[in-house]
A and B are shown apart, each in its own frame.
Chain A
Amino acid sequence: MNFSVVTSEFWSLCLQGLALGLIYSLIALGYTMVYGVLRLINFANSEVFMIGTFAVLVVQVNLLHHDVTSQPIHGFALAKALILSLFGAMIVCALLAMLVELVAYRRLRLHGSSRLASLISAIGTSIFLSEGMRNLTNSRPQTTPRLLEKTSLGTIWGANLRIDTIITIVAAIIIFLALDQFVNRSRLGKAIRAVSMSEENSRLMGINLNKVITLTFAIGGLTTGAAAFFYATVYENTIFNVGFNLGIAAFTAAVLGGIGNIRGAFYGGIALGLLEQFASAVLGSQWKAVTVFIVLVLVLLVKPSGIFGEAVQQTRT
């Protein structure tokens, strides 16, 4: 037990936890959106994230010719590099998520097979993607170049406001607000909500089911891609199995907030990020996972469908 770190480093722990938590939240959307519509655990999402981090690497190293030894860049060149790699990762992940739906889920869904069959198919996809990347990279960890100099914007209550942390927090919140508006306001968002309430009825109402489901996967892919970019910016590393731990954490975040619920994923991710930071600061990093599990069990016992309840709309049992 170590409480002194909490008093002296409280705000920096909060800030780091917030940034990490928002990355979790963005990945959690890849699980939650799909779950809301299809009621299945999109197990391959962690590998979509992994591919996203490599997409960032490819954009920055192969397209923009930066490498590990190059100096941080500034101004317009920096903005261009960051935006290109963000969009690169988002697009790659969205396309991949759509492809995963097509290859691993669609046939099974159209045949009305059990959800377990889809789960195993997703696990197969997940193994295939990560093993494919392992072969391409010879199992070696990779580093993304440091384009953004990690300067401090100042300190608040002893916490160092590092620019990468701040960018992650602000951008992630903007993405969430945009998504929330999209799902609640737009026509397509309405279709997504309709399908998540009842597949049968929405088909009767003339909604193109395949289109909506593909769209859902694409949105999950976009946010997962954004998460991959922020991860690469803050932590500057990736490896073929990077998705495993992050995927499980994000799935936990989704469940914590109430799986299928977009706002749930947002708050669940933040709660998990903070919880992990403080658990490893106070109890030691080795007990982080245990603490998270115990909190999860307690939350689910009190609120059986997560903090914010299930589904995009709570009408479905």
Chain B
Amino acid sequence: MNKNSKRVLAVVAASALAFGTVVTSQANAAVKEVTLMFQGPLTGPDAQLGQDQLPGAVYAISIYNATNPKVKIKLEKADSQCDGTVAANIAPGVAANKKVIGVIGTSCSGEAKNSFPSYKPAGLTMISPSATNVDLSNPKSKSNGFPIFHRVVPFDSTQAVVLAKVAAKEVASPKFYIVDDQTTYGKPLCDDVKLTAKKIGTIVGTDSVPKLTNDYSSVASKVKAAGANSVIYCGYQTDGAKFVKALRDSGSTAVFAAGDGVNTSDFPSLAGAAGEGVRLTAPDVPFDLLVSKTELAAFTKATSVKVPGLYVTSTYDATNIYISCIKAGKLTRAGIQSCVAGGSFKGVGGGTIKFDRYGDLTGGAPVGEFVVKGGVIKYLGGVNG
């Protein structure tokens, strides 16, 4: 505690100093430098999502800069906290910073929606590693990000199909109970899950439990009363862990399946014994499965992260798309935009990444299936939607 209070004091003192001075960064004239902006939650309740992703970008750029190129890349961070309100203020600042030629992000869909109004007129390209809301690339939606928005992950309706399939696997005549968490991520995902669930089984009940609810016992009672044998949860890890615990404590043995919001390295320890056997999906393949041991060691060295978290692969891919465009001499926002939209790139897994008109992957991509076993999340393979 003492150490921390000292730290706080130091920060207060430092900020007082900084308040009086103007911090301006002088670009080095000798080596040309362009800036990529990572935008996502680095603090706040959803910080883990962004903190997991950031190493992917750091690693890709460190490899590139180590080759002593003519144009160096600087990575800056815009912490929009997975919060639309914050993003609405941060985005104009990023858009006005002429050095930024591309955005790696945003991590969350809400952030993306509130950033579009600033990035569209500025012609600033975005490649998101994890914003999976369907609306973002839906030509009919008013909140789509055409033409600047791209994402290297399949969107939620694809994941929803897989999630329902995974939840029904090896369950005789599945009876689904579907629960969402009332967020921009959870609600639309569950709405899509219901479409598939209806086809492959029956839905015996649904509920919407606001994020940060403490007591899930009444939901567990409802699951029991409805006689469900497969529970699908659309939400984030913290509440997912509470829910699965309440469910197991109520004596239910139904299958518990959840999407990428729950699929974090923290989840097994949060859920404890109740987490065993939980089925998870994520539109991303674990980075450590795709790279060699030496590359993983290099990754750890560059980022001091031992086990790559979720969405490192997609963040790495997104960053590499920018890097290949910069290599090709595209150093303006307009140049990057046409390069990203028209080009064809190679992903770390060996696949080809190409965007359609609205920024989705052409040909789609498989969604990963995972299961919690022995306190860790195990990758089972890709499932096509």
Find out whether A and B make contact in their complex, taking CB atoms under 8 A apart as touching. Answer: yes
Bitwise, A1-25 to B at CB < 8 A (1) or not (0) is 0101100110011001100100000
Q: Total interface residues on B, using CB and 8 Å?
A: 41
| Interface-side segment among B115-123, B154-162, B238-246 | B238-246
Does A304 interact with chain B (Cβ within 8 Å)?
no
| Interface-side segment among A114-122, A136-144, A308-316 | A136-144
Does A286 interact with chain B (Cβ within 8 Å)?
yes
Cross-chain pair count, CB within 8 angstroms: 108
Give the contacts of A134-175 with B (CB-CB under 8 A): 135-136, 138-141, 143, 145-146, 150, 152, 160, 162
- A68–B269 Cα distance when bound, in Å, is 6
Are A146 and B273 interface neighbours, CB within 8 A?
yes
Give the contacts of B77-106 with A (CB-CB under 8 A): none
Are B238 and A141 interface neighbours, CB within 8 A?
yes
Residue of A nearest to B219 (CB): A285
Are A139 and B272 interface neighbours, CB within 8 A?
no
Are B238 and A245 interface neighbours, CB within 8 A?
no
Are A9 and B225 interface neighbours, CB within 8 A?
yes
Are B45 and A241 interface neighbours, CB within 8 A?
yes
- A69–B266 Cα distance when bound, in Å, is 13
- A145–B245 Cα distance when bound, in Å, is 12
With A281-B222, A285-B209 known as contacts, the answer to whether A237 contacts B47 (CB < 8 A) is no
Bitwise, B268-284 to A at CB < 8 A (1) or not (0) is 01111100000000000
- A13–B47 Cα distance when bound, in Å, is 35
Does B173 interact with chain A (Cβ within 8 Å)?
no
Contact of A285 among B4, B213, B225, B238 (CB under 8 A): B213
- Which of B217, B225, B273 counts the most chain A CB atoms within 10 A? B217
Does B214 interact with chain A (Cβ within 8 Å)?
yes
Does A276 interact with chain B (Cβ within 8 Å)?
yes
- A289–B182 Cα distance when bound, in Å, is 14
Residues of B within 8 A of A236 (CB): 245, 272
Are B249 and A162 interface neighbours, CB within 8 A?
yes
Q: Total interface residues on A, using CB and 8 Å?
A: 44
Does A87 interact with chain B (Cβ within 8 Å)?
no
Contact of B215 among A2, A8, A20, A140 (CB under 8 A): A20
Does B253 interact with chain A (Cβ within 8 Å)?
no
Are B238 and A237 interface neighbours, CB within 8 A?
yes
Are B238 and A286 interface neighbours, CB within 8 A?
no
Contact of B212 among A9, A17, A69, A245 (CB under 8 A): A245
Does A296 interact with chain B (Cβ within 8 Å)?
no
Residue of B nearest to A237 (CB): B242
Known: A160-B250, A235-B215, A280-B209. 13 other contacts (CB 8 A): A16-B217, A69-B269, A135-B4, A136-B4, A139-B48, A140-B266, A141-B238, A231-B214, A235-B245, A236-B272, A237-B242, A285-B207, A285-B209
Task: Give the interface of A toward B (CB within 8 A).
Answer: 2, 4-5, 8-9, 12-13, 16-17, 20, 68-69, 132, 135-136, 138-141, 143, 145-146, 150, 152, 160, 162, 231, 235-237, 239, 241-242, 244-246, 276-277, 280-281, 284-286, 289
Please list the 8 inter-chain residue pairs (A to B) with the smallest Cβ-Cβ separation, ordered nearest first.
A5-B225, A286-B208, A285-B209, A16-B217, A9-B221, A141-B238, A139-B47, A280-B218
Complex A-B: 26 CB contacts under 8 Å: A5-B222, A5-B225, A5-B226, A9-B222, A9-B224, A17-B218, A68-B269, A69-B269, A69-B272, A139-B43, A139-B47, A140-B266, A141-B241, A143-B241, A143-B269, A143-B271, A162-B249, A235-B214, A235-B215, A235-B246, A237-B270, A239-B45, A280-B207, A280-B219, A281-B221, A286-B210
